[in-house]
Amino acid sequence: APEARRTSQNMLKNIDYTLYLVTGRDLLPPGKDFYQTLEESIQGGVTIVQLREKDLETSAFVELAVKSKVICDKYNVPLLINDRVDVALAAKADGVHLGQSDMAVKRARELLPHTAIIGLSCNTVEHVKGAIKQKVDYIGIGAVWDTKTKKLTNPVIGIHGVADMLAELEGTSIEAVAIGGINSVNLLRTLHGCVTVKNRSLDGVAVVSDIMASADPRCASKKLKEILVNFQRHH
């Protein structure tokens, strides 16, 4: 059955979405090195990384991805690329994260290795239905809270918005992370608030500024990870 196939494929991939770092070089404190921040954040507990660097030209983005892949490989942490299937292929990244108006998931699957992870940004229950049809590996749900990191074109969805979208995933093997304004102060409240009536909870959270803008990204990640692992122990 397609359902069983999807489940076993996700299990084969065995991705840990617990603490998902989405990068943003522009947020680094003055003098902070990108690669050092990446490595320290992984040492602090980041389990998966997405390069989201919208301002980079292709050559620079590929270089950043190739160098980031070396660091991620050292720790066995998957590396995904935002929007750019070509960059993911060039850097032999582990997959891509696509937005609603990026390349169709089906097209990306045709281009990428069959083991590639494909994630999709979802802002509505309709988006989640589409993600299920397109058999994505995971969805990014948001923005849950307001954020300065991205100019939002849709209203924030809040914890109830996340819970409604998570509920739509019940019975599928698609995993879900929330994104948008999540930090160590609101993380526990966010995790608790997003649990569905049937008790499904988030598989992880995606964070940009709370890690990227930190003077101590290792410490920032560690703080987030401890809250996540403690929550997961009870769910």
CB of 197 to ligand TZP, least distance (A): 25
CB of 123 to ligand TZP, least distance (A): 8
* Residues facing 81 on adjacent strands: 51, 96
Using CB distances below 5 to 8 A depending on partner kind, what does residue 150 bind out of Mg ion, ligand TZP, none? Answer: ligand TZP
CA nearest 11: which of 174, 148, 153, 195?
174
The smaller minimum CB distance to ligand TZP, of residues 85 and 207, is found at 207
Alpha helices (H) in 75-181, listed in sequence order:
85-90, 105-111, 125-133, 158-168
The smaller minimum CB distance to ligand TZP, of residues 14 and 153, is found at 153
CB of 52 to Mg ion, least distance (A): 8
Using CB distances below 5 to 8 A depending on partner kind, what does residue 102 bind out of ligand TZP, Mg ion, none? Answer: Mg ion
The smaller minimum CB distance to Mg ion, of residues 99 and 130, is found at 99
Please state, in angstroms and rounded to a whole number, the distance separating the CA atoms of residues 149 and 174.
Answer: 26
CB of 190 to ligand TZP, least distance (A): 11
For residue 36, the tally of other CB atoms under 10 A from its CB is 13
The smaller minimum CB distance to ligand TZP, of residues 97 and 109, is found at 97
Tell me which residues touch ligand TZP (CB under 6 A). Answer: 22, 142-143, 147, 149-150, 179-182, 207-209
Asked if 29 and 213 touch (Cβ cutoff 8 Å), the reply is yes
Tell me which residues touch Mg ion (CB under 5 A). Answer: 83, 99, 102
Please state, in angstroms and rounded to a whole number, the distance separating the CA atoms of residues 50 and 191.
Answer: 21
CB of 18 to Mg ion, least distance (A): 23
Please state, in angstroms and rounded to a whole number, the distance separating the CA atoms of residues 200 and 137.
Answer: 17
